[in-house]
Structure 1
Amino acid sequence: MSNASKPDPGRRRPWVVGVSGASGTPYAASVLRGLLAAGEAVDLVVSRASRLTLLDETGIAFRDAHWRSDLREWLALGADGKPGAFAVSEADLADVRYWPAGDLAAGPSSGSYPAKGMLIVPASTACVAGVALGLSKDLLQRVASVTLKERRRLVVTVRETPLSGPTLKQLVMLDEAGAIVLPASPAFYAGATHIQDLVDFVAGRVLDAAEVPHGLYRRWEGELRGGSKEEADPS
């Protein structure tokens, strides 16, 4: 076998993380921190609408020309808005690539681009509709379409309530196309005592769907523990 046909064991295969305009930017931040903590490479796509949501929810203006410093500030922010809640260094972002939402010629827009799959966190109803109908109106939707056609894992973390009939039908369409529909529905059995715990539960379930190891929440083990996470944890 020639060298040209041998697989490259060091080939970069990122998870593409798409952030749409739905409320819930702390979910995206927690998923990104979880991926980086697990040593995963990340390609990031932030939609134009999500920049407005991010600015409203965090006060951070996400800019193409300064995306790395803006991302670092965002990931360091706690779900309660407290700055510096998480330690994020430049080294932590070493294997993150950012693609502008309007760049339809970006690497992940092609099925030949090596990627493990895509996580859309959060997914707005407009994003759900665009992906279900195959509109590809921006890079986020295009990458989602590529992910489906290449039979890669697509996790759609829809964040809306209540859900209309058309959106429910579109979510069924995504499920039938092979996507994992994962509503941003936090649970309370893990002993949540802080808003960050609720955010991390949803982010942890997204990473579970992607089969990425993490320690973001306490898993159910078939025993009633009662009380808070701190009370249940002897350490």
Structure 2
Amino acid sequence: MGEEQREPWVVGVSGASGTPYAAATINGLLDAGESVDLVVSRAARLTLIDETGRPFRDAHWREDLAAWLGRKEDALDDAVRYHPAGDLAAGPSSGSYPAKGMIVVPASTAAVAGIALGLSKDLLQRAASVTLKERRRLVVCLRETPLSGVTLRQLVALHDEGAVVLPASPGFYAGGSTAQELVDFVAGRVLDAAGVPHGLYRRWSGELGEARVARAE
């Protein structure tokens, strides 16, 4: 893919629990032929170790990302770029950097606060602020419960700025019977909000509802 043609999705992974949601979302983007600019926060590195048992290191990011996603390392070369969270000079920090939009998955309450207040304390927050000011699509997949009044107000502020606030709430009507199927449902809804086609879950239809009513009777 030529440099002038590349228009990635920026994916920010914050420190909230829910790294499987991030992996499924990134895999969905790659399966759809999209390119990805990845930002992993410092807190997310700790969560990754807790939830996957593997580190995520700047110097070995391809190896670590391939293991996390279950993909071959060489398959990431043209599709993914990684930017350390402390690199505020990276491309996604500027509005002139071409990007389709940004997905923050999972989004911690700290990330929500930083984006809503425009703190730009790291590249994840800065890239999200840029996405808002450039009127690009921003999807914030919050993974936290319960929510305080402060966080609720910050989420409303993000909504009012044009972001899609998408809690990590799996739907059981799609027939998910495994944890991965429920993860894929959330990732699919994230991709729906981003406008990216996928086949991660079975969509609701009138026929599906009628069949279930018939079985119940």
Offset from partner CA, 1:3-35 (integer Å, 9 cap, x none):
xxxxx9951000000000000000000000000
Q: Partner letter of residue 93 of structure 1?
A: L
DSSP-derived class of the 1:122 partner: strand
Separation in 1, partners of 2:154, 2:3: 38
Separation in 1, partners of 2:175, 2:3: 41
DSSP-derived class of the 2:23 partner: helix
* Conserved 8 A contact 1:17-1:120: yes
Separation in 2, partners of 1:204, 1:109: 27
* Conserved 8 A contact 1:36-1:92: no
The aligned runs of 1:212-223 (5 Å cut-off) are: 212-223=196-207
CA shift for structure 1 position 222: 1.4
Compute the RMSD of aligned alpha carbons: 1.4
Aligned to 1:17: 11
* Conserved 8 A contact 1:120-1:157: yes
More helix by share: 2
Distance 1:10 1:105, change over 3 A: closer
The aligned runs of 1:59-208 (5 Å cut-off) are: 59-76=53-70, 88-94=71-77, 95-208=79-192
DSSP-derived class of the 2:129 partner: helix
Identity of aligned residues (%): 75
DSSP-derived class of the 2:50 partner: helix
DSSP-derived class of the 1:18 partner: strand
Aligned to 1:58: 52
Separation in 2, partners of 1:59, 1:149: 37
Distance 1:22 1:9, change over 3 A: closer
Superposition TM-score, scaled by structure 1 size? 0.87
Matched, 1:44 2:44: no
CA shift for structure 1 position 89: 1.7
Pairing partner for 1:27 from 14, 18, 21: 21
Offset from partner CA, 1:175-201 (integer Å, 9 cap, x none):
000000000000000001100010000
DSSP-derived class of the 2:141 partner: strand
Superposition TM-score, scaled by structure 2 size? 0.94
Distance 1:9 1:89, change over 3 A: closer
Separation in 2, partners of 1:52, 1:9: 33
Unaligned runs of 5+ in 2: 213-217
In the alignment of these two chains, the number of paired residues is 209
CA shift for structure 1 position 91: 3.9
DSSP-derived class of the 2:112 partner: helix
Separation in 2, partners of 1:186, 1:115: 28
DSSP-derived class of the 1:21 partner: coil
Separation in 1, partners of 2:74, 2:10: 19
Q: Partner letter of residue 89 of structure 1?
A: K
* Conserved 8 A contact 1:117-1:153: yes
Offset from partner CA, 1:62-115 (integer Å, 9 cap, x none):
000000000001012xxxxxxxxxxx1234312100000000000110000000
Offset from partner CA, 1:99-141 (integer Å, 9 cap, x none):
0000000011000000000000000000000000000000000
